[in-house]
Amino acid sequence: MARIRHIGIRNFRGIDALDWSPSPGLNCLIGAGDGGKTTILDAIDLCIGARRTAQFSDADFHDLNPGQPIAIQITLGDLPDALRSMEGYGQYLRGYIESTSEVVDEPGSGIETVLTLQLIVASDLEPSWSLFSDRAATENATRSLAWADRVRMAPTRIGGGSEAQLGWRRGSVLARLTGEEVTGGPAMLQALRDARATFGSTAQKHIAETLKTVDRVASDLGVPLHGGANASLDPGTASVSAGTVSLHDARGVPLRNLGTGSARLLVAGLQRAAAAEASIALIDELEHGLEPHRIIALLGSLGAKEKDPPLQVFATTHSPVAVRELSAGQLNILRRTDSGLQVLNAGEVADVQGTMRVFPEALLAKSIIVCEGASEVGLLRGLDRQMALSGTPTLMARAVALVDAGGITKVYSRAGAFTKLGYRTMTFRDDDVKPDAAIEVAFEAAGGKVASWGAGRAIEDALFGDLGEADAALLLDRAIEIHGEGLIDENIKSASSGKRCLADRAALLNEPGRLVLAKAARSKPGWFKSVSWMEDVGFDIVGPGLSRAAAPFQAVIQGISAWME
């Protein structure tokens, strides 16, 4: 059945301009909040959904400007024979060139035959649906897609209101799956007659006095009632139609009473079963109401792991579980550019699949700091908590993600993947072991930012060397609290070649001695080599003592903070 080959949107809500050629399978959209993800789904639904009217307001126009009409064009390929007929739609048949994602006005050999559906909303707020081609526009010809064809190709919206899909209403997934509507026939007519009889005999018991009053008044006025008044369903208004038939369980409980997640799963499975009749599905926030294992089940039901996808799906998500389960070619990142909204397919960027698997949360942020290790991640998290006490916006408020690269050799392979996907990216590293200079230069040339302690120093050198003496003493106390005096004493002896021990506290805390403490802190297992240890250090010691730290230390932290802003 039909697949969307191209989407063109102009002046619709937060989208000034968008041109996108989606894949024929699963298309998952991620990006910043209010970035246009749901608007794209709504545009598809409004343009090719089975509806005769829709409500619009000035708020639906980009920048609240009704002077520029809303224009949505959806180009459909993989058409059934009836829609590719020259007799039926010849003037509107167009061509789609897959290699260039280009829609041309003339179909031809080796070019897929497609139809473009268009929705225009001008300042009068009246929607107008029609087929579109340049030649028809030149001739001022106008034609709409036949209603039956429109119903067959309309997408199924899976989300809020999924319960409507669990009945035999016109256009529902069940109606499509059945192949024919469950319309009024002998069985339904008899059901209605039985309902009228049952209701009448039951109602008499509860409204007997009212019926007596009706009889009396009718008699007084000479109105014949042929045996007296009765209560029953009105055969002129009461009816049983396909819309009143829905799925129930064995107990008679309607399946529309299922929880949000369960209803979504069931409708998605039914949509797949009905793919021959309804091949396009729209799912906003696909994780809504689902636990992680059921998110995976939903993606599987939609054909996310299949080579030949049974459905074309347009979904949005804020779930790292969903991002991790997708292939790069199924993930689409929204970016705003000077020319309009851009959809960047992650599959077009080399070597990003591993990054998606390991750091799915980062792909849902606006900016990313790739840290050399757990110490840098913990320090920034602790400082973030401390600064939040004074009203500074948090990392979460700034939509900044912290990534532990797991060593200097992996910093730029990770950071490079994020920059290629269009994310603002910074690296935060030690300087005792330097990365390949050419790779770092290329990263900065691509827009990346580098933060390091410089001068060949590691984070331990910066902490013990640049914090005030009282704060360095607190660091030493914290190390003893975590690891015990015995281990700390052994580390100090080893770092000083036996010249110093923990008992030499005063000497260790003077400026030359702190070099020994910094070296000892790097001894395995590392005094603060975990996110939680260093986060507490950042919150309890470094943050409160930042104003007392040496200028180079303050400059590094302030530079990172300024970049985040």
The position carrying tokens 């064995």 is 250
| Of 527, 514, 515, nearest in space to 482 by CA | 527
CA 322 – CA 189 distance, rounded (Å):
47
DSSP character at residue 243: G
Task: Name the burial class of residue 486, with classes exposed (0-12), middle (13-18) and buried (19+) by CB atoms within 10 angstroms of its CB.
Answer: exposed
Domain extent listing, the chain: 1-155+280-301+310-354, 186-240, 365-565
Taking only Cα atoms into account, the Rg of the chain, rounded to an integer number of angstroms, comes to: 33
Nearest in space to 540 (alpha carbons), one of 319, 379, 392: 379
Backbone angles phi, psi at 336, to 5 degrees: -95, 130
pLDDT tens, the chain, 565 aa long: 789 999 999 999 999 999 999 999 999 999 887 789 999 999 999 999 988 899 999 999 999 999 999 999 999 999 988 888 877 788 999 999 999 999 999 888 889 999 999 999 999 999 999 999 999 999 999 999 999 889 888 898 887 655 566 666 666 766 666 654 554 556 666 776 777 667 666 766 666 777 677 666 666 656 566 677 666 565 555 555 555 666 766 776 676 777 777 777 777 777 677 666 668 999 999 998 889 998 998 999 899 999 999 899 999 999 999 999 999 999 999 998 888 899 999 999 888 898 899 999 999 999 999 999 999 999 999 999 999 999 989 998 999 999 999 999 999 999 999 999 999 999 999 999 999 999 999 999 999 999 999 999 999 999 999 999 999 999 999 999 999 999 999 999 999 999 999 999 999 998 888 999 999 999 988 999 999 999 999 999 999 999 999 999 999 999 999 999 8
- DSSP H helix total and E strand total for the chain: 22, 17
Strand runs labelled E in 357-461: 367-371, 400-404, 424-429, 449-452
Interatomic CA distance for residues 129 and 434, integer angstroms: 61
HEC assignment per residue over 151-218: HHHCCEEECCCHHHHHECCCCCHHHHHHCCCCCCCHHHHHHHHHHHHHHHHHHHHHCHHHHHHHHHHH
The CATH number of the domain covering residues in 1-155+280-301+310-354: 3.40.50.300
